[in-house]
Chain A
């Protein structure tokens, strides 16, 4: 299929899930009955803090006993309830589709394929702020089918009644394009608005480049067209065929964020209000401002997250990792959504246990859609769903909201604590 790459994700495993579905979450069944399986000895676990954390089922499981009372039989993993409220929407699994970076969105068919599949799954879908400037609204023939409205239609046509929702981002410069005003007054969105399944997401920042605005590589010709709106930089040299287009990060203070949210709620009373934050060191404070101003959801991208293209120094050195964001924010009653290199059940469960209400699929969703435009994302989510059921039930719990940090073990933290003794 299409040649997108995600060097920091296990691409082969993701593609296998997109191709083979839930069979791919097990070792090859060809070896069943012949081979012996187990953790591979001598291989040190690697990855970030979330990867290194282990999920630790207890021996004693009082909640399973409660479930046993309810059911009148021993509970199984199929009894785990994964239905979730995600920022004002209902979803069958605690999963949503993240906005894609411009580099991938440039691959026009993928956004549309992923939209239809997210709709079928009934999971909320975020449409990136870059879609309108890159691909147009798609209204009155002014843009291709994969423009903003094309993606909304693909989603809405496939979504089951009462599930999911579409979330449209806007950032500082995109306010010029009036993306929200357009969507709110467009007939294509009426059904979503009427069924309470439209949200607007204020993009304050993103994981791949905390503190910077969006960046896109453009041909010189394309750059001329947007030069009134964006800063264009000859960062690749005066003779290069391409230039760098930068958005501003936008200036925020507590008061600016609070009032922007108030205005969104005032102007779009029938839409939900989401806020996306970058993994800043004051992420808890910012999330609390957003919630208290009435945001239905706060999304945090870990520094390892984002499909966006960014200067290497930002990718390697800037922003809090997801685990630290979760630790700083802690459990809240409000909706906290997170993303950052999530593609399977264990990382998803660790985020949920640390306080997230749902997890976002970004690059993994793109890979899955590129592997199979009709069913790849659906299969990837089915895999994640089955793993979540298995893991949650192993913990003796039957709803994702029951997860806590007791369900996790952090080797580093234990080491720290022991050194401190």
Chain B
């Protein structure tokens, strides 16, 4: 029996309906079923490859400061100012003292600038698949991420056939992802490409959202942007030893205009370099006492990534906005349960 696919398209800037209506929507339900299979496949793959899953910390005296313009949420912890996690990066690095390969399925809260409410890509509350590997370099991590994503796609296409059909998402769209190597370009090349599309882009900043969408529309499979300039990311992104000013990091961009799915790279881990990078990113090292204390005694070198669960779901499900892939979407500045 062939059914007519559900209507998934929304208008630009459209906000989620009220919670009850959103949860009853077959689109939401199909997206969440796909999401469920993504986490099952992730655990399956990483578990089979020797990774320990840890439960993520939710609050701490500090959190990831490297989130473009986003405000952190303060928590009163018995009279001390704590933060909700914007990402667990500092804990990921520290956890490598105990285990060499770890991952979290971690919730994050970032009070993003109001202008991001209508990008279709930002949620103030979202989940990341956070992976970190001691002693790894960027190349190893890129290979891991490609293999993981292929495994997830294979699993989801198998287990969520009905949901793909209901959403009218053609499984053929993922053939290039499964068959061809993910593309790769440097930040400098990405800037040139965005400018080639007559869109403004600074050479020493992150690729802006619109620019990312434009180059994302031009490919048939995910690709990596590597080598972001220092000054575009937080202090944990490792700086090249041979090319000062260039970061050993990457973003994974989905095809079809879905944009960034994942950020990662090699990390800074040496005490003196961490202090310098903290200052270069305007941070006060005193805030990071617990982390620097570990670093002074020896933090393992590592690389890893954080893969946005709702963004991957949106890409797989072919949805217009990332909020369609969240049961309780919280858009920047929009009051919602």
Q: Is A228 an interface residue (CB 8 A)?
A: yes
Q: Please, how many angstroms separate the alpha-carbon atoms of A128 and B201 in the complex?
A: 31
Q: Please, how many angstroms separate the alpha-carbon atoms of A182 and B114 in the complex?
A: 11
Residues of B contacting A343 with CB < 8 Å?
Answer: none
Q: Is B220 an interface residue (CB 8 A)?
A: no
Q: Is B159 an interface residue (CB 8 A)?
A: no
Query: In the complex, which residues 121-139 of chain B have their Cβ closer than 8 Å to any Cβ of chain A?
Result: none
Q: Is B280 an interface residue (CB 8 A)?
A: yes
Q: Please, how many angstroms separate the alpha-carbon atoms of A167 and B69 in the complex?
A: 16
Q: Which residue of B lies closest to A257 (CB)?
A: B280
Q: Is A251 an interface residue (CB 8 A)?
A: yes
Measured between C-beta atoms, what is the minimum distance from B133 to chain A in Å? 27
Q: Is A69 an interface residue (CB 8 A)?
A: no
Residues of B contacting A255 with CB < 8 Å?
Answer: 276, 280
Q: Is B332 an interface residue (CB 8 A)?
A: yes
Residues of A contacting B205 with CB < 8 Å?
Answer: 262, 265-266, 269
Q: Which residue of B lies closest to A259 (CB)?
A: B280
- Known interface pairs A172-B284, A260-B281. Does A266 touch B112 (Cβ–Cβ under 8 Å)? no
Question: Scoring B residues 262 to 303 as 1 if CB is less than 8 Å from chain A, else 0, what string do you get?
Answer: 000000000000001001111110110000000000000000
Residues of B contacting A263 with CB < 8 Å?
Answer: 231-232, 280-282
Whether B69 lies near A175 (C-beta < 8 A) is no
Whether B204 lies near A185 (C-beta < 8 A) is no
Whether B231 lies near A187 (C-beta < 8 A) is no
Q: Is A268 an interface residue (CB 8 A)?
A: yes
Measured between C-beta atoms, what is the minimum distance from A143 to chain B in Å? 13
Query: In the complex, which residues 169-198 of chain A have their Cβ closer than 8 Å to any Cβ of chain B?
Result: 170, 172-173, 175-176, 178, 180-182, 184-185, 187, 190, 193
Residues of B contacting A187 with CB < 8 Å?
Answer: 114, 333
Q: Please, how many angstroms separate the alpha-carbon atoms of A252 and B282 in the complex?
A: 10
Whether B113 lies near A184 (C-beta < 8 A) is yes
Question: Scoring B residues 108 to 120 as 1 if CB is less than 8 Å from chain A, else 0, what string do you get?
Answer: 0001111100000
Residues of B contacting A170 with CB < 8 Å?
Answer: 282
Q: In terms of DSSP, what is the predominant structure of the interface of chain B?
A: loop
- Known interface pairs A252-B279, A260-B281. Does A266 touch B114 (Cβ–Cβ under 8 Å)? no
Query: In the complex, which residues 50-79 of chain B have their Cβ closer than 8 Å to any Cβ of chain A?
Result: 68-72
Question: Scoring A residues 252 to 289 as 1 if CB is less than 8 Å from chain B, else 0, what string do you get?
Answer: 10011011111111111110000000000000000000
Q: Which residue of B lies closest to A261 (CB)?
A: B231
Q: Is B100 an interface residue (CB 8 A)?
A: no
- Known interface pairs A262-B229, A266-B232, A267-B68. Does A256 touch B114 (Cβ–Cβ under 8 Å)? no
Q: Is A199 an interface residue (CB 8 A)?
A: no
Measured between C-beta atoms, what is the minimum distance from A46 to chain B in Å? 42
Measured between C-beta atoms, what is the minimum distance from A134 to chain B in Å? 16
Q: In terms of DSSP, what is the predominant structure of the interface of chain A?
A: helix
Which of A180, A185, A193 has a CB less than 8 Å from the CB of B112?
Answer: A185
Q: Please, how many angstroms separate the alpha-carbon atoms of A267 and B233 in the complex?
A: 9
- Known interface pairs A185-B113, A260-B282. Does A267 touch B81 (Cβ–Cβ under 8 Å)? no
Which of B81, B206, B279 has a CB less than 8 Å from the CB of A266?
Answer: B206
Whether B69 lies near A267 (C-beta < 8 A) is yes
Q: Please, how many angstroms separate the alpha-carbon atoms of A178 and B287 in the complex?
A: 12
Q: Please, how many angstroms separate the alpha-carbon atoms of A175 and B68 in the complex?
A: 14
Residues of A contacting B69 with CB < 8 Å?
Answer: 180-181, 184-185, 267-268
Q: Is A337 an interface residue (CB 8 A)?
A: no
Whether A178 lies near B282 (C-beta < 8 A) is no
Measured between C-beta atoms, what is the minimum distance from B47 to chain A in Å? 37
Whether B71 lies near A178 (C-beta < 8 A) is yes
Q: Is B230 an interface residue (CB 8 A)?
A: yes
Measured between C-beta atoms, what is the minimum distance from A159 to chain B in Å? 20
Q: Is B241 an interface residue (CB 8 A)?
A: no
* A interface residue numbers (CB < 8 A to B): 170, 172-173, 175-176, 178, 180-182, 184-185, 187, 190, 193, 202, 228, 248, 250-252, 255-256, 258-270, 294
| CB<8 Å pairs between A and B, sample of 29 | A175-B282, A175-B283, A178-B71, A181-B69, A181-B71, A181-B111, A184-B113, A185-B69, A185-B111, A185-B333, A187-B333, A228-B81, A255-B276, A259-B230, A259-B281, A260-B280, A260-B282, A262-B204, A262-B230, A262-B232, A263-B281, A263-B282, A265-B204, A265-B231, A266-B68, A266-B202, A266-B204, A267-B68, A294-B204
* B interface residue numbers (CB < 8 A to A): 68-72, 80-81, 111-115, 202, 204-206, 208, 229-232, 276, 279-284, 286-287, 332-333
Q: A263-B280, A264-B282 are in contact. List 16 more A-B contacts (CB 8 A).
A: A172-B282, A173-B284, A173-B286, A178-B71, A185-B70, A185-B71, A250-B279, A252-B279, A256-B279, A256-B280, A258-B231, A263-B282, A265-B205, A265-B231, A266-B232, A270-B115
Pairs A-B, 4 closest by C-beta atoms:
A262-B231, A259-B280, A181-B71, A266-B205
